[in-house]
Structure 1
Amino acid sequence: MKEILTNDEIDALLDLFQNEGMPDELEGVEEFGPDAVAFRRGGDVSPLDLLKPNRFTREQILAISRIQEMVARKLGGTVSDRLRLDASCDCVGVEQQRFSTWLSLLDNPIGVYLLESQQAETPMIMTISADLLYGAVDRILGGSGVVAALPKDLSEAEHTVSDAVVVPILDQLMAGLSEIFPIQAKIVARHTNPAMAQVLPLQEVVLSLHFQVAGNPLLGDIRVAIPYSVIEPHLESLSKSRYLTVAQRSGEFRGVLAKTLGLVELGVAIELGTAEISLADLLSLSVGDVITLPTHPGDDIEVPVQGHGKFRGRIGVQGGRYGARILSVLDNGDAA
């Protein structure tokens, strides 16, 4: 069946609508809305905002962030071991971005590594900032790690030397992703020009992982871009991840929290009443004067906690002391 109408067929279709009106089966269906598409295709249609890369849920991003925090600690240990210095690593960002946005964050020069995996049809990308990469090469070769001037490119021999730290870094990153789905990746290309990283469509949604390594004298960033299409088939397993389910256990820390907060002291001040006096009376007040209040024993009052009304009480006297009997708990809307 052909999908394009001829001019004569279009004219005939317009005449049909003008002379006979809208067919009964199309009544109530919006012309370009999701209902119209669902009607024509016989299925449900979910709205998709093409301008915002919202492919991952907040819970999924949270679970991935927890995994990457674990990866960051291992990366710090890897860098320390390989470069023989005291280094730390933090995961400073896990977010979903357009690939064009991710590319705009890259410096020039920068170490660009194209990654391929048998478990993914689309390539992934890892970048290491030039300061960290060149400093690592200098450190491995016996230097201090301080690079006075950044070269525009690394020689093949320098790339081979840098692999002593780059490959273990990649192994730790893949181990973190293996918490989501089994994956192993290898480096298939190395560049120092960020323009060579444009291996994905600019509108492709990627999961961006951002790590920052700090160790005197080295300081730099490690970034990873993982296409959404690589992770999408495995998002169902992510919802069952131990990093997500542990956080969702209802009341897991309730006992510890109640025991800790139970020792916190709170201020409770009961206002017995208010009175209005003239400015002249205020100025003439002296020691011994009495200001009468409109409240009496037995009147209902509001009992505030930390300045906010929480209870309804009744004024009374017990054992020669003024007090308030709690009558009810106030809802947020009941507080004055």
Structure 2
Amino acid sequence: MSEVLSQREIDALLLALSSGDLEADSLEVKEEKVKVKPYDFRRPQKFTKDHIRTLELVHDNYSRIISNYLTAQLRSNIKVNVESVQQITYEEFIHSIPNPTVLTLFKMPPLSGDILLETNAEFVLRMYDVLAGGSGYKKPKLKELTEIEKKLIKVLNSGLVSNLKLAWEDVLDVQPEIQEIETNPALNQTLAPNEPVALITFTVEMFSTTMFMNICIPYLSIEKVLDKLVIRYWFSNDDELANEHKKKVRHRLDKVNVDILSILGKTEITVNDFLSLNIGDVITLDNNIDSPAEVYVEEQLTYIGKPGLSGKQRAVQIIEYISEDVENDE
């Protein structure tokens, strides 16, 4: 907004104009420049930057998961990376993919509608070559897939689809379920041409070549859960969400294996005595039989314990916890 003049300033300005000290032409009215952002009503932006960023994070995790899956299935080092995440129309997506290709239609409740996984023909034929006993390095001749090839590719793509459950678990508990496979994208008219979709494009490095894979998520499928596709939602201060997050972290940590070592005592002997040891010899330690034992977790002194028996098993009873702060102070 322009600055508002006081009454005194207005009187001084009128006096200067009437006396000729100031000419009206010299007064320039400075208009504020309004920033105009173009908007295409034919292609409305339904996905915000936060939605796109969250989808990128989810599918970046997915790319690492399927890298391991494909590496295990094809017995070769496969690298998958997210190339781009963008909003386009369904018509643009269909026209951008080659023909023939392999379109896997699947559902992912609680998301509604069909979601598409597109793997181009070269990609799936190289996978088929490896599973059929070949090396996968020879560039395949593009052709219409046979029924046997479709069956085998459907099994592989079912694995790719099922791994979405792991990638989405921090956002939603989804249940991917494959529906059917199409090879002609022009015949797959499941959405209106102008329907906005989120297109996630992956690069797949395998057998000394780079290929592409796409996941197409319609806006209608994800509309009801858009509030969960905001990163701030993940870090909300809401107690219920925080407790749920803690439970997930604890559940995952409960499955981690750690090495525990208890040291009953130490001693030093000469090399000559060591070489003279026989079955039945007794080595005297620097601890008494009733002395406490140090318990190490992953090579870190964590507890003080008392050695003994639990039933017929040797055991160590924990009697003291060693705090890191106390240990560092010492």
Give TM-score scaled by structure 1 length. 0.54
Displacement after TM superposition at 1:53 (Å): 3.4
Letter in 2 for 1:54: Q
- Looking at structure 1, the residues matched to 44 and 63 of structure 2 have their Cα atoms a distance apart, in angstroms, of 25
Partner of 1:134: 125
Between stretches 161-170 and 236-245, larger displacement belongs to 236-245
The runs of 5 or more residues in structure 2 that have no matched partner are: 1-38, 238-330
Match of 1:165 in 2: 156
Q: SS at 1:175's partner residue?
A: helix
What SS class does the counterpart of residue 213 from structure 1 fall into? strand
Is the counterpart of residue 201 in structure 1 residue 192 in structure 2?
yes
Equivalent residue in structure 1 for 2:69, among 65, 68, 78 = 78
Q: How far does residue 63 in structure 1 lie from its aligned partner after superposition? A: 1.7
Contact 1:67 1:243 in 2 (8 A): no
Q: Does 1:65 align with 2:56?
A: yes
Q: Is the 8 A contact 1:80 1:86 kept in 2?
A: yes
Give 1:85 shift: 0.3
- Does residue 221 of structure 2 align to residue 221 of structure 1? no
> 1:175 — aligned with what?
166
Q: How does 1:236-251 map to 2 (within 5 A)?
A: 236-239=227-230
For the residue of structure 1 that corresponds to 2:159, the secondary structure is: helix
- Which residue in the other structure is 1:54 paired with? 45
Contact 1:132 1:218 survives alignment (8 Å)? no
Q: How many residues align?
A: 199
Deviation at 1:147, TM superposition (A): 4.6
How big is the shift at 1:57? 1.3
2:78 equivalent to 1:94: no
1:121 shift after superposition: 3.8
Quote how far apart the aligned CAs of 1:242 are. 6.8
AA of the residue aligned to 1:98: T
User: Structure 2 CA distance, aligned partners of 1:158 and 1:99?
Assistant: 27
* AA matched with 1:67: V
Backbone CA RMSD of aligned residues: 2.4
Shift of 1:241: 5.9
Change (3 A) 1:169 1:229: same
Aligned to 1:111: 102
For residues 158 and 204 of structure 1, what CA distance do their matches in structure 2 show?
A: 32
Q: Given residue 167 of structure 1, which amino acid in structure 2 is its aligned partner?
A: S
3-state secondary structure, aligned to 1:122: coil
Contact kept, 8 Å, 1:126 with 1:223, in 2: the verdict is yes
In 1, Cα distance between the equivalents of 2:191 and 2:76?
Answer: 36
User: What secondary structure does 2:84 align onto?
Assistant: strand
Matching of residues 242-261 of structure 1 within 5 Å: none
Contact 1:180 1:241 in 2 (8 A): no
Question: Could you say if the C-alpha distance between residues 150 and 241 of structure 1 is closer, same or farther in structure 2, counting changes exceeding 3 Å?
Answer: farther
Instruction: After superposition, give the CA deviation of every residue in 1:227-274 in whole Å (9 maximum; x if it has no partner).
Output: 11111111112225676779xxxxxxxxxxxxxxxxxxxxxxxxxxxx
> What is the distance in 2 between the residues matched to 1:153 and 1:245?
50
**Structure 1 residues without counterparts, runs of 5 or longer:** 1-47, 247-336
- Offset of residue 150 of structure 1: 2.7
Q: For the residues of structure 2 that align with 1:217 and 1:164, how far apart are their CA atoms?
A: 24
Secondary structure at 1:79 match in 2: helix
Mapping for residues 2-81 of structure 1, pairs under 5 Å: 50-81=41-72
Q: With structure 2 as the length reference, what TM-score do the two structures score?
A: 0.55
Q: What residue is the counterpart of 1:189 in the other structure?
A: 180
Offset at residue 206 of structure 1 (A): 0.8
1:131/1:147 contact within 8 Å kept = no
Q: Percent identity?
A: 22
Report the equivalent of 1:29: none
Counterpart residue type for residue 143 of structure 2: K
